[in-house]
Amino acid sequence: MVAITSPAFKANAKAALADPQLQKALNHVRAGFIAKRAAAVDALPEFDALRDSARDIKNHTLANLDLYLEAYEEKVTETGGHVHYAETAGEARDLILSICQKAGARTVTKGKSMVAEEIELNEHLEAAGIEAVETDLGEYIIQLRHEPPSHIIAPAVHLTQGQIEADFRRVHTHLDPKRDLSEARELLAEARGILRQRFLEADVGITGANFLIAETGTSVIVTNEGNGDLTQILPRVHIVLASIEKVVPTLEDVSQILRVLARSATGQEMSTYTTFSTGPRRRDDPDGPDEYHVVILDNGRSDMLGSQFQDMLRCIRCAACMNHCPVYQEVGGHAYGWVYPGPMGAVLTPQLIGIDKAGNLPNASTFCGRCEAVCPMRIPLPNMMRHWREREFERHLQPVTYRTGLGVWAFLARRPRLYQFAMGIAMRVLGNLGHRRGRFRALPLAGGWTKYRDLPAPAGKTFQEQWKEKQRALAGRET
């Protein structure tokens, strides 16, 4: 069970800032992703035109989502696959469990899927006696640690190599203590060896989907390791778990979005494997699954359509927003307290678990706008965080002191004369008090600021007073 700790974001963030291992690991986010993306974007002159194209494709699809889902479903059924709809996380879990049970499954392998994290699928399968094995290296590592992912494409990015080596030694008890695991490639080889056997034994393979194609009834996964492919071609049953907004119209439309996906995510021109799966194995096929199921999950997304959050449904989960976020870079993904971290999480999480629990997340932003600037789907993330802040205020969810402060400010801001009068006094008082040193080391009600840096003392006059004086002086000179 992934406990929701989003309400404790502030405490989580504080702990994260004081965690030296985490801070060391987060350096790889700060250093790696940003430069790689920039190089890939610079190498493709059409990148921004492709972003526009990708945005328009998704907007068109979302406006006709019901029809595209029906078209997709018809094609899947034509090719011998099965489409199941789930309104809630619970329904999706039960559907998947029942497919696994019908298949007599004892173990299932899993490709990386954020939607599976969202519905807590592994826990549900394990409770029914079915072992779920994560096969993406990062997911495998965090499964050993019983942790949720801290990043949507690099789930173990919060860990150092030393921590991973310690986990392998703890769990892989067959390991000779003398065996050298000090290199990343040794750790990868060890995981590859263990997981190869699991791939071949599994009864059911479960993957997510980056896209569902309405034209052909195809599910698409994009990976680098090849684990998703082994998950979906080796077992007898393949289950695809995807949310409603993954559908796109045609192969051409997918190609547009693929051109911005990997570049925004890892800075690759293409991920190593982009795989298109259509239905179960055909009559003469020597490999592939006998059964092909797609579980399409809503879980609150349909409520975002037609609302000020509809644009969020364009998200393709590339993680560029969190890689470029100054808050994510400092606190990492776990501080956000649920499945989706960073700016995209700050917008999506309140929808999925409630603004009452996730209210801190849209506030965990400096509104620097980098997330929107790099988003391949041009999602206005800061604007949507603002919408959540408004809803949070409307529903009286912030602490009394915060609301009172905002109330006082709003009262003054709506009365310009009173505002100028009050500010005039405040600036004179502060200006006099800070006259000698020019700055304050501590100030009542401003502890959050002065704890980390001095507050410069005001000039003794408000900006408006100074402006008026300057204008008067100028006018005097001209006449």
Partner 1 sequence: MSARDTVLGKIRRSLRVTAEEPGRNATVDARLKRAPKGVIPARGQLDSAGKVGLFTAQAEKAAATVTRVADITAIPLAVAEYLRAHNLPAALRMGEDALLNGLPWQKTQIEVSHGASEGRDAVGLSHATAGVAETGTLMLTSGVDNPTTLNFLPATHIVVVEAGAIAGDFETVWANLRKRYGKGVMPRTVNMISGPSRSGDIEQKLQLGAHGPRDLHVIIVG
Q: Looking at 4-87, which runs of residues are DSSP E strands?
A: 82-86
DSSP state, 87?
S
Contacts of 15 (CB under 8 A, 6+ apart): 335
At 284 the three-state DSSP class reads coil
Which CB atom, from 236 or from 281, has the smaller least distance to partner 1? 281
By CB under 8 A, tell whether 202 contacts partner 1: no
Site for partner 1 in 12-51 (CB under 8 A): 25, 28-29, 31-33, 44-46, 49-50
Site for partner 1 in 59-78 (CB under 8 A): 60, 63-71, 75
By CB under 8 A, tell whether 359 contacts partner 1: no
Helix axes 381-394, 342-353, angle to 10 degrees: 40
Which CB atom, from 198 or from 434, has the smaller least distance to partner 1? 198
By CB under 8 A, tell whether 184 contacts partner 1: yes
Stretch that binds partner 1, among 115-123, 133-141, 418-426, 441-449 (CB under 8 A): 133-141
Which CB atom, from 276 or from 402, has the smaller least distance to partner 1? 276
First to last CA, the chain: 77
For tokens 């390991």, what's the residue? 175
By CB under 8 A, tell whether 187 contacts partner 1: yes
Q: How is residue 370 written in tokens?
A: 């980098």
Stretch that binds partner 1, among 115-123, 126-134, 154-162, 466-474 (CB under 8 A): 154-162
Which CB atom, from 249 or from 337, has the smaller least distance to partner 1? 249
Stretch that binds partner 1, among 160-168, 171-179, 452-460, 464-472 (CB under 8 A): 160-168
**Binding flags for partner 1, 208-247, as an x/- string (CB under 8 A):** ------xxxxx-----xxxx-xx--xx---------x---
Strand pairing category for 291-297 and 82-86: parallel
Which CB atom, from 105 or from 220, has the smaller least distance to partner 1? 220
Site for partner 1 in 106-125 (CB under 8 A): none
Which CB atom, from 286 or from 444, has the smaller least distance to partner 1? 286
Site for partner 1 in 297-326 (CB under 8 A): 298, 302-307
By CB under 8 A, tell whether 291 contacts partner 1: no
Q: Chain centroid to CA 52: how far?
A: 21
Question: Count residues contacting partner 1 (CB under 8 A)?
Answer: 103
The partner residues of 377 in beta bridges, in order of sequence, read: none
Alpha helices in 222-250 (DSSP H): 227-233
For tokens 């298109």, what's the residue? 276
By CB under 8 A, tell whether 194 contacts partner 1: no
Contacts of 105 (CB under 8 A, 6+ apart): 130, 203, 204, 237
Q: Give the Cβ contact number of residue 66 at 10 Å.
A: 11
Which CB atom, from 302 or from 363, has the smaller least distance to partner 1? 302
CA-based nearest residue to 54, from 218, 244, 262, 242: 262
Positive/negative CA dihedral, 275, 280, 285, 287: positive
By CB under 8 A, tell whether 185 contacts partner 1: yes
Site for partner 1 in 241-280 (CB under 8 A): 244, 249-253, 255-256, 258-259, 266, 268-280
Which CB atom, from 223 or from 349, has the smaller least distance to partner 1? 223
H or E stretch at 219: strand 218-223
Q: How is residue 469 written in tokens?
A: 């004086």
Q: How is residue 408 written in tokens?
A: 């006082």
Stretch that binds partner 1, among 130-138, 326-334, 421-429, 471-479 (CB under 8 A): 130-138
Q: Which amino acid is at 11?
A: A
